[in-house]
Amino acid sequence: MKVLSIETTTKIGSIAVFENENLKKKFAWESDDIAGEITENLKNILKDEEISNFDYFVVSLGPGSWTGIRVGISFVKGLAAGERKKIYGVYTPEGFFNFFKEYDYKVCCLVNAYRGKFYYSFNYKDEFLHTPIKIKEDSLENIFKMIEKKTIIVGPGIADIPQDYLLNPDLIIPHLSFTFPDAVLNGIVAIEKIKRNIPSPPLEPFYGR
């Protein structure tokens, strides 16, 4: 199985190629114009690949950048050339949840929804593989009231959290690489869900901004 995963929902864009469940290539870049640069970056990473040889195209459905989500979905639709079954959508929290599913902690993914609100989603171990994740919106104050014991906090919203919230002793803040969603993490969780015959959610954007 060959899989191409692209991530365009934040200022950190990324592309990953998988073959037989193994990561073959990856590339990430930071830009204020992810949409304008993804085509060239994709050409560079796929110079020895044929698009028609890919079995699946993985794309993030958000929450995240309004423009970035639309660009990503439109882009993979073009790559799939009308073959909807080749496109697999994942939500921003899922890649993080999958990475930490062996840890004995809850995981909370945060994305800035602006207007004083954040999108948030909680998960424990592999719950997200058995029950569709819930992404809700609330103030930081209310979200942090839900954190009652050690919780791993991930997602692009971390960068927008006031320092006093981050001093909460119940928070576990991993490496900065878990701040932004990533094509590698998205590809891995999509492959896991495909193997379990879990269908892709509808290709409908979940906008964060």
Residues 186 and 86 in one domain: yes
Residues 116 and 50 in one domain: no
pLDDT, tens digit, for every residue of 76-129? 999 999 899 999 999 999 999 999 999 999 999 999 999 999 999 999 999 999
Q: Which residue has the tokens 């949840």?
A: 97
Can you give the CATH number for the domain in which 191 is found? 3.30.420.40
Residues 86 and 184 in one domain: yes
Q: Let me know if residue 29 belongs to a domain.
A: yes
What is the number of domains present in the chain? Answer: 2
pLDDT of 208: 57
What is the arithmetic mean of pLDDT over 30-48?
Answer: 92
Q: Residue 136 sits in which domain range?
A: 93-178
Residues 126 and 79 in one domain: no
Residues 98 and 53 in one domain: no
pLDDT, tens digit, for every residue of 117-164? 999 999 999 999 999 999 999 999 999 999 988 999 999 999 999 999
Residue 152, classed as helix, strand or coil, is strand
Residues 112 and 152 in one domain: yes
User: Strands, DSSP E only, in 67-173?
Assistant: 87-90, 106-114, 117-124, 136-138, 151-154, 171-172
